[in-house]
Structure 1
Amino acid sequence: MEENWKKNLATDSYGNPARSISNLRLIFTLDENLSQIRYDTFCQDDVCFCPLFRNVNGNKIDEESAGKIQDYLERTYRIRLTQNKVFEILKTTSSERSFNPVQEFISQETWDGQPRIATTIIDYLGAEDNPLVREQTKLWFVAAVARVFNPGCKFDNVLTLPGPQGIGKSTFFKAISGRWFNDSFSFASGDKEKVETITNGWIIEISELNGLKRANDAEAAKAFLSRCSDYMRPAYGHKVVEFMRHNVFAATTNETNFLQGDNGNRRWWIIPVKGNGHVSDWLDDLQRSVPQFWAEAYTYYKQGMKLYLAPDMEVEANEIQMQHSNIIVDPIMEDIEMYLEREVPMQYASWMIPTRLAYQKGAYSEPNSTMTSLNMVCARQIIEELPNDLVRRNPSKYTSQYINRLMSMFPNWKRSEQEKVKGLHPAYCDKTGRTKYPWVRVDAPSEESCATLPSELELPF
């Protein structure tokens, strides 16, 4: 068989195999060693199952591997290739032998019909046994399967386990992940590092909620978790390509109040755990059960299970999130809410700040005016216009940053998606007349309101 395909190689004037595309395709496809290089569609890398071309970092093809392939071609076929040419040929030939090791890992066994995944965190980590815990756990397992078989599918929830140190939280996630576990992810890393981490992993643990300590971190995390794909340039590639996400996130922490504010916290599916004896007592049983966990989850995935909680369970999950947030209890919260909900005259946009403050305190009014809502505000505006003088008497506490944290707790308000927006009083704008990331009402009407300065009004500033 070997001699048959080699006879099909075109030769040069010296009788050696010619360095033609057709020859190279035959060699890379049928050579007993080169044909063991396959394309891993999960990690999107060429991997080698022949020891001849492995490198110090394992079986992923890199420059060292390419050098060994060059040497092999010259010794075996008297063909000299550049490394770039080696990678170019591999792009087509290895992809014809593509495989997805995580799909194979998930589907290695047929489910025996015994439900297990809903109670895994209850059984091994001592979580409370209730319907919400069971449903969140089951959906997370199924989502992990869905992300592998349908990369980029919508799922941005993080299975989050707060509990004492040493009870096996990270061990649990590592044990169920096969070879595709990564616990080095941090929101504090640059975007490139974060993308590289999740591209090569399946179960990504955010250990101790790394890089998630401030309100700004929480905003960035919300945006990152919401994405279904990422863009990066693959190794030895020349163009930036889109990578559909094939991972799910888990988080572990020893803290109790770890969520920042209230904005975006719905993504954190929190299951408090207290442990269930020594890790060594249950680890062997867990590892034996892993194939059946994924077989069960794969069955649910093929049945079309939805990857979100029912509305009543969503409400219950939100209540648990509130219990684990470091939300500030501040007496001016009520004042801010009243300020945000109070209707104001259309002329309000053109008033000077002292007039606005007088109106908010009830010392000034505009009878028979058309009323409207404040649909866009900023922290500086709240500090200057809130009727409660406490915010102005205590500037060291009531900074713009602090007010922004308080604003993040109002579910009907969100930061503008635009970095700089026109429309607020000049005192709250930069030199270009814009405000950086103001707060906008979620259900604001599209028509002109006090979110913008009415053009027909004569402004005194």
Structure 2
Amino acid sequence: MLRPKEDDASCPKPRRRDQSGSARAIVPQSANDSLATHSTDPRWKTRLFVNDKGKVLPNLINVAFAFRNAPELCGAIALDQMSGNIMVRRPLPAIGAARCADRAIDDADAIGLTEWLQGNELVGVQIKTVQEAITMISRENSFHPVRAYFNRLQWDGVPRVDGWLTNYLGAANSAYTKAVGRFWLISGVARIERPGCQVDHMLVLEGPQGLRKSTASKILGGEWFTDHLPDDLRGKDSSVAMKGSWIIEIAEMHAMTKSESGSLKAFITRTTERYRPPYSRYIVEEPRQSIMIGTINPTSGGYLRDATGARRFWPVKVTDISIDDLRRDRDQLWAEAVALFRSHGAKWWPDAEFERRHILPVQSDRYAFDAWEDKAADFLESRHSTTILDFACAVLNMEAAKVGRTEQNRIVDILTNYGWVSGPKDTKTRRRLFTNPKMAKGREVGHPLPSKLSV
């Protein structure tokens, strides 16, 4: 069936009930601030679209017009850009009138709003149309609670950021603790000011159970803190779980297997979350707005199991956590970090020289070394290249038939920890060659830097 042309007399255009004035619409506010007071139009009912018989159309455009202009509805709902929730910002009319504001909208609100709209000229409007309008209008009124928190902060000018790990958590006073403490706080600001920016490191608080490491982490994150992540960090469940969170605690790191440590390494460095939310038709790609903090009761055997992944962790031994002082100065810590980021463009990552001199030695002390590594030193220092099987036979006196997948993986890890790299296959044996780049450059071969960790 052919669609009538717009100027076809048999298909009259919808018109506003009152043509005497232009319709007002709220102007979406800046996402940096809390919701502003919107102008309303007391005559909004007279400006709804009607059909050729003068009957108000119960369609999306009229419902949206009501949300933008009715004094009872204007600015009442908004999208929280942090959590993705649609929030009720002030009491809603009708059924929801007695319910408090500053909460996530729910089905009862949609039902109440439908009833109210039906009683205010929009007879026959369906709840589905109201729900669609809620989704659309909330995005026009979006706000960011953490950014709004930053905007409310006023730094008193007293420097605290460089020494916060020492002054509030009892860490050693060193160039290392000053730097990683500063970098971590500024990275928290960066992730809010520039969602999705690269943050490759995670602070790790070491200390005995009962020291209140998690409490300190929760104070820093406030209402945007979580320690509830699924065991499997690779799936969409982790993306869903971290929605609305700014500071995320990774607890019990000492209990992680090597596979879990590898997953955590990839999880830390991710800049976006790509997944399909529950009940949604569409896949979303959201820039990450959170940073990680680990807590651990370390063992004597070390807990960093992957030499390359170990670079992602900044371990700090804490001894005496002053919870009351941290709670008192929490806002000033973030206020200073915001000032450093916004006014001075402070970075949140170390340069290569600082990492080599100050960070790698600390990480090296936490590395869980393989017992086979001590046997490997002399062999590797005298070779330019080797294969997994050559290593197993020469270093471990293993028969070729007994070199399984587990043994192969351990040998590869040892070679990697010593700075060796995987190369092409040997033309004769067709086995993968590992080479020592330092030997290739004519340098003295040995353990790279002060540890098995390489820059």
Classify the secondary structure of the residue corresponding to 2:295.
strand
Match in the other structure for 1:259: 304
After superposition, residues 364-403 of structure 1 pair within 5 angstroms as 379=388, 381-382=389-390, 386-388=393-395, 390-392=397-399, 395=402, 399-403=407-411
Q: Any idea what the Cα deviations from partners look like across 1:263-304, whole Å, max 9, x if unmatched? A: 21111011111124xxxxx43332232221111101111121
State the distance in 1 between where 2:313 and 2:398 align. Answer: 32
More divergent stretch after superposition (58-67 vs 120-129): 58-67
State the distance in 2 between where 1:335 and 1:92 align. Answer: 68
- Percent identity at matched positions? 25
Residue 178 of structure 1, CA deviation:
2.1
Q: Which of 258, 274, 288 lines up with 2:319 in the alignment?
A: 274
Q: 1:238 to 1:426 in 2, by over 3 A?
A: farther
Residue 51 of structure 1, CA deviation:
4.5
Q: Which of 64, 72, 78 lines up with 1:38 in the alignment?
A: 78
Opposite residue 9 of structure 1, the aligned amino acid is L
Contact 2:227 2:248 in 1 (8 A): yes
After superposition, residues 237-252 of structure 1 pair within 5 angstroms as 237-252=280-295
Classify the secondary structure of the residue corresponding to 1:270.
strand
Contact 2:273 2:288 in 1 (8 A): yes
Q: Which of 336, 350, 366 lines up with 1:296 in the alignment?
A: 336
TM-score, scaled relative to structure 2: 0.75
Gaps of 5+ in 2: 1-39, 439-455
Q: Which of 417, 430, 439 lines up with 1:409 in the alignment?
A: 417
Q: Which of 45, 60, 63 lines up with 1:6 in the alignment?
A: 45
Number of residue equivalences: 388
State the distance in 2 between where 1:222 and 1:412 align. Answer: 21
Residue 186 of structure 1, CA deviation:
4.7
Classify the secondary structure of the residue corresponding to 1:26.
helix
Opposite residue 203 of structure 1, the aligned amino acid is I
Residue 340 of structure 1, CA deviation:
6.4
Contact 1:413 1:440 in 2 (8 A): yes
Opposite residue 259 of structure 1, the aligned amino acid is L
Q: Which of 233, 244, 249 lines up with 1:205 in the alignment?
A: 249
Contact 1:262 1:410 in 2 (8 A): no
Match in the other structure for 1:131: 175
Q: Does 1:178 align with 2:222?
A: yes
Q: Any idea what the Cα deviations from partners look like across 1:67-113, whole Å, max 9, x if unmatched? A: 44434433444445555533432333112211100001122122121
Match in the other structure for 1:308: 349
Opposite residue 402 of structure 1, the aligned amino acid is R
Contact 2:169 2:319 in 1 (8 A): yes
Opposite residue 322 of structure 1, the aligned amino acid is S
Opposite residue 232 of structure 1, the aligned amino acid is Y
Residue 62 of structure 1, CA deviation:
4.6
Contact 1:186 1:206 in 2 (8 A): no
Match in the other structure for 1:329: 371
State the distance in 1 between where 2:276 and 2:433 align. Answer: 35
Contact 1:144 1:248 in 2 (8 A): yes
Classify the secondary structure of the residue corresponding to 2:87.
strand
State the distance in 2 between where 1:5 and 1:390 align. Answer: 87
More divergent stretch after superposition (188-197 vs 67-76): 67-76
Q: 1:388 to 1:129 in 2, by over 3 A?
A: closer
Q: Does 1:151 align with 2:203?
A: no
Q: Any idea what the Cα deviations from partners look like across 1:32-60, whole Å, max 9, x if unmatched? A: 2463110111222311123445999x822
Classify the secondary structure of the residue corresponding to 1:73.
helix
Classify the secondary structure of the residue corresponding to 1:43.
coil
State the distance in 1 between where 2:290 and 2:272 align. Answer: 10
Classify the secondary structure of the residue corresponding to 1:44.
coil
Opposite residue 410 of structure 2, the aligned amino acid is Y
Classify the secondary structure of the residue corresponding to 1:177.
helix
Classify the secondary structure of the residue corresponding to 2:294.
strand
Q: Which of 223, 226, 232 lines up with 1:188 in the alignment?
A: 232
Q: Any idea what the Cα deviations from partners look like across 1:322-345, whole Å, max 9, x if unmatched? A: 111211232332266358623xxx
Q: 1:389 to 1:10 in 2, by over 3 A?
A: closer
State the distance in 2 between where 1:39 and 1:49 align. Answer: 10
Q: 1:190 to 1:219 in 2, by over 3 A?
A: closer
Which runs of structure 1 show a deviation greater than 4 angstroms over 4 or more consecutive aligned residues? 11-16, 51-56, 62-65, 75-84, 393-398, 422-429, 438-444
Match in the other structure for 2:24: none
Residue 207 of structure 1, CA deviation:
1.0
State the distance in 1 between where 2:346 and 2:56 align. Answer: 55
Match in the other structure for 1:231: 274
More divergent stretch after superposition (200-209 vs 223-232): 223-232
TM-score, scaled relative to structure 1: 0.74
Q: Does 1:102 align with 2:143?
A: no
State the distance in 2 between where 1:85 and 1:130 align. Answer: 60
State the distance in 2 between where 1:121 and 1:231 align. Answer: 34
After superposition, residues 340-379 of structure 1 pair within 5 angstroms as 341-342=384-385, 379=388
Classify the secondary structure of the residue corresponding to 2:418.
coil
Q: 1:240 to 1:191 in 2, by over 3 A?
A: same
